Structure 1
Amino acid sequence: MIVFDLSGKGAIVTGSTRGIGRAIAEGLIAAGARVVISSEDADDTARVAAELGMPGLPCDVSSDDDLAALVEFALAALGRLDVPVCNAGITGRAGPFATIDMDDYARVMAINLRSQVVLCNLALPHIAAAGGGAAILIASLSALRGNGRINAYALAKAGVAQLARNLAVEWGPQAVRVNAISPGFIATELSQPLIDDAAFMARRMAMTPLRRPGTPQEIGGTAVYLASAAGAFVTGHNLVVDGGTLITDGS
C-alpha cells in the first residue's frame, strides 16, 4: 500500500483558486484525488478548474444554500466525497477588540468558523455512509498566540481548532477523521506586502527557528498526509506548520 496515495478519492477544497487553498488542491490532485475547485468568484473558479482539469463550482461559504449545492455538486461530479477541506476565509479589519466593528466581526466569524460547521454537517454524513474519510479544517497560528491586532480572525480560528476536536469525537466511531492545520507565516500573494516590509520580516524571522516563511506547497503536503492512509490514526489534532514560531522564545 502507498500510504500517501489518494487514488479514487473525491475532495472539495473551498477557497482553492489561489494561495494555500490552491496548493492544497494541487497536492491532493498530485496524490491521485479528484478535487472540486471552488471560490466565491465564478471566473476564478472556472479558470483554475480548467487549469487543473477538475470540476469547479462557485460558492459563497457564508451561504448555507451555496454550501449545500457544493456538496451535492461534488457527489454528482466525483461520484463520492472523501475529503472536505474547509479553507476559505477572510482576515477582516486589523485592530484591538476595544475598537472592533461588530459587522466586520460577524462577517469574519460567518466565513471563517460558521461556514466550516455548516460544510462539515453537510459533508460528514455522506462520508460516514460511504465508509469513512478525513475532513481537514484550516485554522491558524494566530489562534494559539496573543496578538493586539488580529482580533476576530484569531478568535474564529481558535474555534476551528476546537471544532476539529469536537467533530473528531462525534464522527470517529463512524471512521471519519477530522483534523485542523494551523499555518504560520506563509509566502502567498496576500502576504506579499508583509514580505516586502523589511522591518517586519526581520522581526518575524527572528521569531522563527527556520528563519524563513513557509510555502503554500508545504501546507498542501500536510493536507495530503492528513487525508491519506499515512495519517490514518490521527484525528482531533491541530497540526501547527509554522517553522517553529510557536515554540521559540526568539533567541
Structure 2
Amino acid sequence: MSRHESLKQHALGLGVLVLAVTTAYAGSRLGVDELMASMQLLRSAEDAVDNVAEEPAPSQVDINAHIQEVATQHGVAPKLVAAIVAVESQFNPRAVSRRGAEGLMQLMPETAATLEVDDPFDPRDNIDGGVRHLKRLMKRFHNDLPLVLAAYNAGEQAVINHRGIPPYRETRQYVVRVLRRYDRDAAREVARRLATPKKKPTPAPAPAARVARVMYVVPDAVTTIAPPSPPPPPSAATDDVVEPVRPRSSKAPGDSP
C-alpha cells in the first residue's frame, strides 16, 4: 500500500468515526447543525489527502546515486554529469526552462522523444536520456569537451556551422560554468581562449603572371611571334691545322737562276 492510500484510509476512518459519533448525538439531541458540520469535515479530510503528493521529492543523495549508476553504465565521468545537472537545473527534477527544456538534464521534448524517455520529470529516466545524449555528442566531436558542452547547450549544428564554440554569450558562459565544476584548469584555459580575439587569416599572395605569346593581327593572316629559341649548344672543339709558311722568292717570274 502506498503512502497516499494509507493516508486516505486513515482520513476516511477518522471521518467515519466523527460521523458516527455526531449521528448518535444528533439522534438523541436532534443536532442537525452538528451533523452537517461533521459531513463537511469528512469532505475536507478527503480533499486534503488528495492534495498529498504520491511520492516525496527525491533528495540530492538519491539523484547522485542515479548519476553514479547511469554514468558508470555508459562510460561517462559521473562528476561531469553532476556538473551538467547542477548548471542545468540545480538538481531540481521538476525544472522547466523558458524554451521548454525539462527535468534534471533539461531535455527538450523532441530530444526526449528521440531518446525514448518516457517521463522527463522522473530523475532516473531523465539522467539516463541525458547521459546517452551526452555520450553521442562525445563521439561526434571526438571527446573535445568544450565542443561537446557547447553542442549540448546550443545544438550540434551550431557548433558545426561555426567550426567551434558558437559566439553566443549564453553558450560560452555555460561551457565555462560546467568546466569550472568539473575541471578548473580546463575552465581557465577555455575562458582565456574565448577572451582572445581570433586573428584574421592573411590572404594568399597573387599568383605570378605567366608570359604569353604576343600575337599581331594583320588583315590577311595571324602571325605569331614566339619567344626566341635558345642558342644551340656549342659543337665539340677541333684542333686547328697549322701549315708551314714557305718563304716567298724575291725573283720575278721569268728570271733565270
**Which structure is higher in strand share?**
1
Using structure 1 for the length normalisation, give the TM-score: 0.21
